[in-house]
A and B are shown apart, each in its own frame.
Chain A
């Protein structure tokens, strides 16, 4: 299944995705779109783990478990982040980072 496709192609795709995610994180002003950029970054790391697992250590499962645990952490992070975002929206009527400047008690 993996003949003719070098490992570096997967790494190139995941690198591009990672830096696109960082660009989004730096330029977006809406909290939910910043969260989506973080999801892009986590997903690109997953591609790396899985591709290394498949190409270099096909008999082992380390990459599988790293990827499963990263997905679980991403899901937990998304749930908590969205709870916080909804709470911020209740207090500020906006989720732009520029408007949220009074989070300190």
Chain B
């Protein structure tokens, strides 16, 4: 009963704050609504009993990316500035297209009955996740781990080079 209440609370928060994120005229406020969406998603992961994923969601998404976005908003626009929205005709067409897509997807999902696996609650912990992440045996994920680390290094260098000022390049 309680988990149902929590699930519907988080679900409603996700949908409402997502809508506010994409419709709010104030950019900084939209970023804060995005933060609420990400925190509610972490709540859903807690409801699924995946504590590690919820922690990752909170630290990387809610802690890292939102801070980055808020910083860049403060660097590029005034707080009181209002976002320019698309013309009415374009918004209407986009809304129609997305509502049609959502209806189609929801109808497809709700027609299908998923049979949940009746196994007991999983009893792995963070150690198992960490071991699988660096294991190169079957069910190991060492290769994607290495690929992601190279990607992060490349993104870091690329971000520094792109955001560097021209004056510093000339020196």
The chain A residues found within 8 Å of chain B, CB to CB, are 1-13, 15-17, 19-24, 26-30, 32-33, 35-37, 39-40, 43, 46-47, 50-51, 54-61, 64-65, 67-69, 71-80, 82-87, 89-90, 95-96, 98
Contacts and interface: CB of A to CB of B under 8 A. Distances in A.
A82 to B, nearest CB: 5
**Which of B41, B45, B133: most chain A CB closer than 10 A?**
B41
Contacts of A46: 41, 57
Contact of B83 (A2, A4, A30, A77): A30
B162 to A, nearest CB: 4
Contacts of A36: 21-22, 30-31, 34, 69
Contacts of B48: 1-2, 50-51, 54
A83 B158 CA distance: 8
B164 to A, nearest CB: 9
Contacts of B72: 32, 82, 85-86
B108 to A, nearest CB: 9
Interface residues of B, number: 84
Interface of B: 1, 3-4, 7, 11, 14-15, 18-19, 21-23, 27, 30-31, 34, 37-38, 41, 44-45, 47-50, 52-53, 56-57, 60-61, 64-65, 68-69, 72-73, 75-77, 83-86, 90-91, 94-95, 97-99, 101-102, 105-106, 109-110, 112, 114, 116-117, 119, 121-122, 124, 128-129, 132-133, 139, 141, 144, 148, 151-152, 154-156, 158-160, 162-163, 165
A7 B114 CA distance: 7
A17 B38 CA distance: 11
23 contacts: A4-B3, A9-B7, A12-B106, A17-B18, A20-B18, A20-B22, A23-B94, A27-B22, A32-B76, A33-B30, A36-B21, A36-B34, A46-B41, A54-B122, A61-B129, A67-B53, A71-B56, A71-B60, A78-B65, A79-B159, A82-B68, A86-B163, A95-B77
Contacts of B18: 16-17, 20-21, 40
A85 to B, nearest CB: 6
Contacts of A39: 34, 38, 61, 65, 69
Contact of B119 (A6, A7, A21, A58): A58
B37 A17 contact: yes
A69 B45 CA distance: 16
